[in-house]
């Protein structure tokens, strides 16, 4: 009998310890989510009634479909570029060339800097009076006018890469550094040159790390809000579209905004599930 | 195909030179925006094709402080940050204790559920949070904005502190018990010093996320709770690049201090929230 009460008490303590976390989860995530879902099915500006109009309106509008496509192009483009930047960079950082501590610090900079500051700096750097264009005008022949980068799609992708590549890079680097050096030595002893070791031994082994990092970069780029808000110009991905619905019209279009937000959340979850499934299938255990 | 392979192989053979070139261009890619901001914030009459500003001035900082009201904004940001850090670290300690030191059925699933907010773009639940806060009159209060930030900070605190509590050696605590320390003493003299690095890491990460948080702030702020990111956004909208740059410089300083602390005290993998497996 005392044993029963003891386990009962222990369960109660565990629940009590978990209570703040669960309260935070339900109060600040699940309930607001449900509220957004309910709101997205209400007719605009009304408290009662159910309708699908908010969804059909956005999804049948060519602009709406372009916004969804744009969000995917931006997120996938920046993820691909981040992987292309991160893999050579983490291989170099692992080699511990002189000054590698500084470069490691540079990798972390975009993580702790507010996204707006990064975007502001990049706007100044790529702008018509920035150093990038000054360099092109001065040293590259056949460039007689500033190359437009700001407020274009490739400029926006570059901003995303600057801000979100550390997710891929840090994960790849930690996968590389936890690799057993004996495996590479075994490859070299078996007669593979350093390129073959990299291609057939190291890369397959760190693939799970690269994939995990690219998922994080993708999620950050898909949900990016502050950067496209100031650096996007006419290119408005989904989060900016949501904010536009509640900031520009008076009274605010809360139902339309909620519908777009829900479409966005569903797209992200579905895409992530597919991506992880694909990654798991192509790379066995990960 | 064989051409591509030969090309890749050639790149690999010249890897040392290429490596340094890549590292240097990478460093330039990261630093150049900050140099531009710093120069823009002290430059005067910088027009046309000039590499450096012709005159230096501190006027833009004076404008930022007087017109941009930076001291007030800084105070708001710090108050909100401290409340958010305290709340999320408290949540993290409780949940971390439960996850790291107690038997829990379905621990993995529960953990995945609590960490779910990181998988969803903040703007999706920020709308709901804003609606609730309007109903509860929490909009435009320091506490309200801080609570909104907790939804972003808490998952990171829980993640870091669960790992800390899991790494706690049970035998040390038992040894303290054998030596005659009661539960209170065991907590304050044995457990607390052991988990201090974890708590510090979680506080640093929570503060970074609160300091940088923009989406949730933008939907719950008001005239009395303008934080630094929101102020910068409003300044960008006004279009005075010089004053915005001065604000940005003021804003970057605490971030760099945090970066130095992270470099010394914590593993960077934790900042990105190390996913296990894909």
pLDDT of residue A159: 93
Residues A215, A272: Cα–Cα separation, whole Å:
8
pLDDT of residue B266: 61
Q: Could you tell me if A139 lies within 8 Å of chain B, comparing CB atoms?
A: no
Which residue of chain A is at minimal alpha-carbon distance from B258? A112
Residues B155, B159: Cα–Cα separation, whole Å:
6
Whether the pLDDT of residue B230 is over 50: the answer is yes
Residues A184, A116: Cα–Cα separation, whole Å:
42
Q: Are A90 and A169 in contact (CB under 8 A)?
A: yes
Minimal C-alpha gap between A62 and chain B (Å) = 22
From the list B47, B131, B148, which residue is nearest A35 (CB)? B131
> Which residues neighbour A235 within 8 Å (Cβ) at sequence distance 6 or greater?
A70, A74, A151, A152, A153, A156, A228
The three-point CA angle A268-A114-A208 to 5° equals 45
pLDDT in tens, A161-196: 999 999 999 889 888 888 888 888 888 888 888 888
| CATH superfamily, region A39-282 | MetI-like (1.10.3720.10)
* B126: its two tokens: 């920020």
Whether the pLDDT of residue B278 is over 60: the answer is no
pLDDT in tens, B115-127: 888 888 888 899 9
- The torsion of the CA quartet B101, B107, B110, B113, rounded to 10 degrees, works out to 100
Which residue of chain B is at minimal alpha-carbon distance from A122? B33
Say whether A199 sits in a helix, a strand or coil: helix
Bond from prior residue into A235 cis (ω within 30 degrees of 0) = no
pLDDT of residue B268: 63
* A242: its two tokens: 């949501």
- The torsion of the CA quartet A37, A42, A45, A49, rounded to 10 degrees, works out to -150
Q: Could you tell me if A231 lies within 8 Å of chain B, comparing CB atoms?
A: no
Sign of the Cα pseudo-torsion (A278, A284, B3, B7, in order): positive
Local structure of residue A143 (DSSP, 8 states): -
Alpha helices in B213-240 (DSSP H): 215-220, 228-238
Contact B278 A106 (CB under 8 A): no
From the list B92, B124, B151, which residue is nearest A36 (CB)? B124
* B191: its two tokens: 């457990």
Residues A4, A204: Cα–Cα separation, whole Å:
51
Whether the pLDDT of residue B238 is over 70: the answer is yes
What is the number of alpha carbons within 13 Å of residue B251 lying toward its C-beta?
Answer: 33
Q: Which neighbouring-strand residues pair with B43?
A: B56
Distance of CA A114 to the CA centre of its chain: 15
By CB neighbour count within 10 A (0-12 exposed, 13-18 middle, 19+ buried), where does A138 fall?
A: exposed
Minimal C-alpha gap between B134 and chain A (Å) = 12
Contact A286 B122 (CB under 8 A): no
* A267: its two tokens: 């797209």
Residues B93, B99: Cα–Cα separation, whole Å:
10
Q: Where are the domains of chain B?
A: 2-57, 69-271
If phi > 0 it is left, if psi is from -120 to 50 it is alpha, else beta; for residue B45 that is: left
Which residue of chain B is at minimal alpha-carbon distance from A247? B219
Q: Are B115 and B99 in contact (CB under 8 A)?
A: no
Helices (H) and strands (E) in chain B, counts: 14, 2
* Angle, helix B107-114 to helix A2-25, in steps of 10 degrees: 20
Alpha helices in A2-61 (DSSP H): 2-25, 31-40, 53-60
Mean pLDDT of each 10-residue bin along chain A, 286 residues long: 72 88 91 92 84 88 91 94 93 83 87 89 87 84 81 91 92 88 86 84 88 89 90 88 87 89 92 83 59
Minimal C-alpha gap between A191 and chain B (Å) = 17
Minimal C-alpha gap between B31 and chain A (Å) = 8
Buried b / exposed e along A245-263 (16+ C-beta atoms within 10 A): bbeeeeeebbbbbbbbbbb
Residue B44 main-chain phi, psi, to 5 deg? -130, 140
Q: Are B85 and B270 in contact (CB under 8 A)?
A: no
Chain A partners within 8 Å of B129 (Cβ): 28, 32
Q: Are B82 and B93 in contact (CB under 8 A)?
A: no
Secondary structure percentages of chain A, helix, strand, coil, to 5: 80, 0, 20
Compute chain B's Rg from CA coordinates: 24
Total-model pTM: 0.88
Chain A partners within 8 Å of B86 (Cβ): none
Size of interface A-B (CB pairs under 8 A): 269
Name the one residue in this structure whose structure tokens are 């070299």. A188
Residues A230, A77: Cα–Cα separation, whole Å:
19
Q: Which neighbouring-strand residues pair with B55?
A: B44
Say whether B44 sits in a helix, a strand or coil: strand
Q: Could you tell me if A256 lies within 8 Å of chain B, comparing CB atoms?
A: no
Residue A277 main-chain phi, psi, to 5 deg? -60, -45
pLDDT in tens, B184-206: 888 888 888 888 888 988 898 89
* A247: its two tokens: 């900031």
Local structure of residue A223 (DSSP, 8 states): T
Contact B248 A117 (CB under 8 A): yes
| Mean pLDDT of the residues in chain B | 85
| Fold entry, domain B69-271 | MetI-like fold (1.10.3720)
Helices (H) and strands (E) in chain A, counts: 14, 0
Chain B partners within 8 Å of A162 (Cβ): 29-30, 33
From the list B114, B236, B268, which residue is nearest A108 (CB)? B268
pLDDT of residue A77: 95
If phi > 0 it is left, if psi is from -120 to 50 it is alpha, else beta; for residue B140 that is: left
Distance of CA B242 to the CA centre of its chain: 26
Q: Are B55 and B208 in contact (CB under 8 A)?
A: no
């Amino acid at each position: 009998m005392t044993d029963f009460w003891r386990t009962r008490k222990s369960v109660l303590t565990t629940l009590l310890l978990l209570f703040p976390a669960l309260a935070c989860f339900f109060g600040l995530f699940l309930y607001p989510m449900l509220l957004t879902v309910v709101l997205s099915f209400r007719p605009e500006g009304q408290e009662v009634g159910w309708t699908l109009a908010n969804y059909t309106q956005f999804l049948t509008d060519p602009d709406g479909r372009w916004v969804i496509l744009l969000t995917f192009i931006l997120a996938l483009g920046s993820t691909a570029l981040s992987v292309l930047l991160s893999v050579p960079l983490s291989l170099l950082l692992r080699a511990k060339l002189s000054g590698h501590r500084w470069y490691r610090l540079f990798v972390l900079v975009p993580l702790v800097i507010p996204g707006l500051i990064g975007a502001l700096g990049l706007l100044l750097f790529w702008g018509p009076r920035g150093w990038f264009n000054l360099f092109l005008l001065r040293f590259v022949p056949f460039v007689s006018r500033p190359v437009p980068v700001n407020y274009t799609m490739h400029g926006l992708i570059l901003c995303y890469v600057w801000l979100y590549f550390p997710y891929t890079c840090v994960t790849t680097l930690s996968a590389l550094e936890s690799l057993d050096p004996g495996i590479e030595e075994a490859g070299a002893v078996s007669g593979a040159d350093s390129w073959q070791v990299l291609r057939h031994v190291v890369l397959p082994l760190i693939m799970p790390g690269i994939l995990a990092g690219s998922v994080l970069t993708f999620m950050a780029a898909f949900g990016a809000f502050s950067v496209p808000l100031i650096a996007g110009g006419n290119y408005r991905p989904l989060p900016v579209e949501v904010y536009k619905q509640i900031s520009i019209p008076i009274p605010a279009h809360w139902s339309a905004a909620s519908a777009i937000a829900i479409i966005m959340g569903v797209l992200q979850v579905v895409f992530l599930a597919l991506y992880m499934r694909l990654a798991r299938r192509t790379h066995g255990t990960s | 195909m064989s051409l591509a392979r030969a090309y890749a192989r050639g790149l690999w053979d010249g890897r040392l030179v290429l490596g340094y070139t890549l590292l240097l261009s990478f460093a330039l890619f990261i630093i150049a925006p900050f140099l531009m901001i710093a120069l823009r914030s002290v430059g005067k009459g910088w027009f046309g094709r000039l590499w450096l500003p012709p005159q230096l001035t501190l006027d833009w900082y004076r404008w930022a402080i007087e017109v941009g009201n930076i001291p007030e904004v800084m105070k708001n940001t710090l108050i909100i940050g401290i409340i958010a850090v305290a709340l999320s670290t408290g949540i993290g300690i409780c949940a971390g204790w439960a996850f790291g030191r107690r038997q829990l059925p379905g621990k993995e699933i529960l953990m995945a559920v609590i960490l779910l907010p990181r998988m969803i773009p903040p703007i999706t639940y920020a709308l709901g949070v804003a609606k609730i806060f309007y109903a509860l009159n929490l909009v435009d209060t320091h506490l309200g904005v801080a609570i909104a930030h907790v939804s972003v900070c808490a998952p990171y605190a829980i993640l870091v502190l669960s790992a800390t509590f899991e790494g706690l050696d049970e035998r040390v605590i038992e040894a303290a018990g054998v030596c005659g320390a009661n539960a209170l003493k065991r907590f304050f003299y044995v457990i607390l010093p052991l988990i201090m690095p974890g708590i510090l890491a979680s506080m640093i990460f929570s503060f970074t996320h609160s300091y940088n948080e923009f989406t949730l702030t933008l939907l719950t702020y008001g005239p009395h709770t303008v934080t630094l990111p929101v102020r910068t956004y409003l300044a960008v909208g006004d279009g005075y690049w010089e004053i915005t740059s001065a604000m940005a410089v003021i804003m970057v300083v605490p971030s760099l201090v945090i970066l130095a602390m992270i470099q010394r005290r914590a593993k960077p993998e934790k900042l990105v929230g190390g996913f296990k497996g894909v």
